[in-house]
Structure 1
């Protein structure tokens, strides 16, 4: 499978009263139509979004619905994530029809599971995140285990961050860029980087980064990091304040970037190799996310779907004063 995709910001719909359930449903339905879903599959998306939104109000009082079109294997899907700061729940128990913590019929999560190709969740005393991914019927193996949550700074019409992902039969590649500052000028810098990566992402990360540096010349520049995972080894190259972590069940290792601004005069870039990366979780984020998080503080979260991971980190560590992007992917041996 060869896939190259440029990411888009996540649509976030606040759910604080019953009128916003309809808004969330309409937003998800629109995404389904854009993804090419037929009437029946679009109806599944509407049903799941309604159930998730209703659960947020019923159990947490308020929260958000995150909507995104996601790439799959030879198709596109719709991702709907419910995010709240409620009391949490036991995911395995609540999947059983008839179980309820709020006096309802207890069918919500079971119905969501039946309509979703992918469903996962994380819940504790800080709140809950429930993920549903839906693809056209007949594409049961479509899911790619990655997650991306991206938002522009409040009040800005456009995001100054960007991300892209390149998958082949032998390698996984990820790019994350944070245009300097925020707003339209930062967006143009990030877009120039993403476009150059999409056009020519093959090769050693140092060589690709040199091409990206040239593509960002004439913009205000920014921070850029990219990885290539192949043959069990992760190769990482970064300039500026993009953070990266390689996470396993019992350890976390930071990925170092060099100081500087891409698009400006920079010293020769250097890549770092991390053997034995297959089976680990890669997390990358712009500096719109606080850096003091640790998945060790969230027992079991590292084993959840990467889209659950990015949603939890965004909920709890968004600085709220800059564009923010959080990306996570399960590293797989594709040889």
Structure 2
């Protein structure tokens, strides 16, 4: 399928990659998987950014695309199978059994950018997408000019013993019932902190961003923990890496407007500990009053985040 007008964002274009040979699970229709590449405009530059979203998410942050365009980069966003524009009826939203399965659509996206004449590619990932892109960049040396990670999920929340203790239990459960959904509470606080309908700043498609959030399934969690273990053992990303995080996390269980000024999804201290394991050249930047998705933070904070992106990319990717 070629490029066509994007159904979500005016002026943008999208194209689907069919993934007929990729595995389906439970009652999913066989051969129904697709990934979707979105672009801000037809290619005009030799350098481009390829962005990958987080968990229960999709691309709608057009101000990020505009900022990259101002820096001289064409902008693309990849929506992985079972997410956002790529999610189809009867599919297990967000599910994956092995994070390396995503390399299929990432390879297709990179090839599309190469075919469009982009000689230099910056890979960018947020949250779970930051974990996926880190693993992928490590396995594709010589491919990317830089890697930019926005609150990447590099380790499980809590102290250092949580994941090693949890991982064998989850792996055993996966062997028995991989698609079983775990009963985890969703306070709705993150939606409340960003959605304009709930007093936040941003308008987006609630259906595509998973409202309520996608079900966390045993096999998916096992795949995530395996990814965390690889990061903990050390990756070998050969390009410069920028990791941006909020200066603090806040996991309180009652609503307070202070939740708009912190990462209320991930443990930023655990991210900071793991980030140096990504490669030989890693820069970590913390932002006071930053949110989980740093580019959705308040105007002054996100301006600082985008300025940091600009400095980093001018130094290492221009």
Q: Which has the higher helix share?
A: 2
TM-score by length of 1: 0.27
Q: TM-score, normalised by structure 2?
A: 0.28
Larger radius of gyration: 1
Whose strand proportion is higher, 1 or 2? Answer: 1
